[in-house]
Structure 1
């Protein structure tokens, strides 16, 4: 009797732990766009990116190699990490930070939440997986939601067509990186090691563009800059990803459902932190994206 009560209590505690972890992940992941917008008031986009990658990568590699004593990548693994970093860091986050100059923070977080749909469709083309009707419908719903939420922002200069296009291209780059990562044999190389080195290498690949475009008068390393880069590096690149990996380890499908909260948190954070507008277009746009995500993830769950 007592053992049963202890067991039930432990299960309830675990459930609350998972819920807490999911909410923390959703909040941290959604906060990236607003943190980027804050940083853009103080520095050029690539400058923010380089500092973010240097801090995040250094922290992850210190934990991996110094504290946890994990091995270094070997031979072919360096090439794999380089390609992964090029797609997932250089192209995805490089384009994302450019797009954030041209779109609202809320719209940025809304677009990020659509990644699972892109991943399913691109993997269908790349890996010859069957494209289901629900996958196509979910993509159309997500696109419709993004553009509906963007409509009033386009009229009030909170977003531009070119910004939305760059944002979509960055999501495609992220999806390609995710699929490439899943296709590789990593020989039990620690995930923190992979993430640390792909972040450092991705930043190095971006350095030529930083040097070519750097303008001293556009970069003031003030409190806004350091808050932005530190938050993006520690809270998002390290914290959010580690919480995400914890959720994925427990249940990959259920973990994906926490992405539903990201657009909601994203628009709320942007509204209170940088005074971006909330309208009925925002509400219905977010609802369409959530329905599109649900259609995609639900079909995937049934398939599994």
Structure 2
């Protein structure tokens, strides 16, 4: 058996922290700006910056046909659908709840990988996924005791299905290099799609505050470019199913960040849940090493 891929775990934890923090910054943004306009502008700026930086690094936008298809799918499903729906939902639900719903994605990825792609999952890996479900269930149970806007929750559920499709599409985009260029291009795709509903359904009514400026800049740079780049590299390194398990970290870090910055509740079940989730991540990683 090969040793546990420590670098992959570090990358996954970094991704989990950066990705989860986006729910808090998004919650701040939608209090001051229309969600779809804000997201369309965010992806436009992030995409241009990433593409220019990729060119400076010598990366090419002449992608393979498979990479272009995957990039288009990823841009539509993750950026336009998943994040667009979540931004709209967070006008009425807490950032922590949106983060928890998003963390169920690894289950959908594992199921799709098994049923669609015929990918085999070892018993230890299944145990890890089950542990992740238990951990998320504990956190979710504590969060759902209060009143929840079911429409907003429904948008998050549709969004996590879209995120599953996005994750599986990285199978094609993560091969062949040009990671940063792909990140930038899929953001530009998401921006182009989001401008349509933004112009059709929203009014550009913005309350200009320093909180909006800080949250927007952070969202563009850290979860927007940084987390997405790490995600592509992680999927290329260990595969979509093992990488997706790191989304199980989203509920804890999402709840913790929202508690620290927005004053949302952090309970004992959140802490117990993340311990179980961590054990699940290690189990899936060990199962992958055994298979390799």
The answer to whether the 8 Å contact 1:96/1:166 transfers is yes
Query: Out of 257, 262, 282, which is 2:270 matched to?
Result: 282
CA distance in 1 between partners of 2:133 and 2:160 (Å): 12
Q: CA deviation at 1:224?
A: 2.4
**In the alignment, is residue 196 of structure 1 matched against residue 184 of structure 2?**
yes
* Counterpart in the other structure of 1:168: 157
For residue 98 of structure 1, what is the aligned residue in structure 2?
A: 88
Question: Structure 1: which 5+ runs fail to align?
Answer: 1-14
Q: Once the 2 structures are TM-superposed, how far is the Cα of residue 86 of structure 1 from its aligned partner?
A: 1.2
Q: Secondary structure at the residue paired with 1:212?
A: helix
Q: CA deviation at 1:128?
A: 2.3
Q: Does 2:220 match 1:230?
A: no
Cα deviation for residue 89 of structure 1 reads 1.4
Shift in CA distance, 194/250, structure 1 to aligned 2, threshold 3 Å: closer
Deviates more, 1:235-244 or 1:247-256: 247-256
Task: Specify the alignment match of 2:118 in structure 1.
Answer: 128
**More deviation, 260-269/27-36:** 260-269
Q: Per-residue deviation at 1:200? A: 0.3
Q: 1:52 aligns with which of 30, 42, 49?
A: 42
Q: Highest CA radius of gyration, 1 or 2? A: 1
TM-score (norm 1): 0.77
**2:18 equivalent in structure 1:** 28
User: Are 2:37 and 2:195, in contact at CA under 8 Å, matched by a contact in 1?
Assistant: no
Q: Does residue 105 of structure 2 align to residue 115 of structure 1? A: yes
Give the distance between the partners of 1:120 and 1:19, measured in 2 at CA.
Answer: 18
- Report the more deviating stretch, 33-42 or 145-154: 145-154
Distance in 2, matches of 1:255 and 1:110, equals 17
- What is the distance in 2 between the residues matched to 1:125 and 1:18? 26
Unaligned ranges ≥5, structure 2: 1-5
Shift in Å at residue 272 of structure 1?
Answer: 1.3
Give the aligned length. Answer: 285
The 8 Å contact of residues 117 and 293 in structure 1, kept in 2 or not, is answered as: no
Cα offset for 1:54? Answer: 1.1
Aligned 8 A contact 1:117 1:138 in 2: no
Return 285-294 or 85-94, whichever deviates more: 285-294
Q: Using a 3 Å threshold, how does the CA distance of structure 1 residues 125 and 246 change in structure 2: closer, same or farther?
A: closer
Is 1:181 aligned to 2:170, yes or no? yes
Q: Specify whether residues 270 and 185 from structure 1 end up closer, same or farther in structure 2 by C-alpha distance, changes over 3 A only.
A: closer
Whole-Å separation in 1 of the counterparts to 2:212 and 2:178 = 31
Deviation at 1:201, TM superposition (A): 1.0
RMSD (Å) for aligned C-alpha atoms: 3.5
Q: TM-score scaled to structure 2, two decimals?
A: 0.79
Structure-2 change in CA distance of 1:254 and 1:202 (3 Å): closer
Q: Distance in 1 between matches of 2:39 and 2:224?
A: 11
Q: Which range moves more in the overlay, 108-117 or 165-174? A: 108-117
The range that moved more, 142-151 or 188-197, is: 142-151
1:220 paired to 2:220: no
Higher mean alpha-carbon deviation, 49-58 vs 72-81, is at 72-81
Q: Deviations over 1:116-175 (max 9, x none)?
A: 333222111221223666666655554454343233433434x43443443233222222
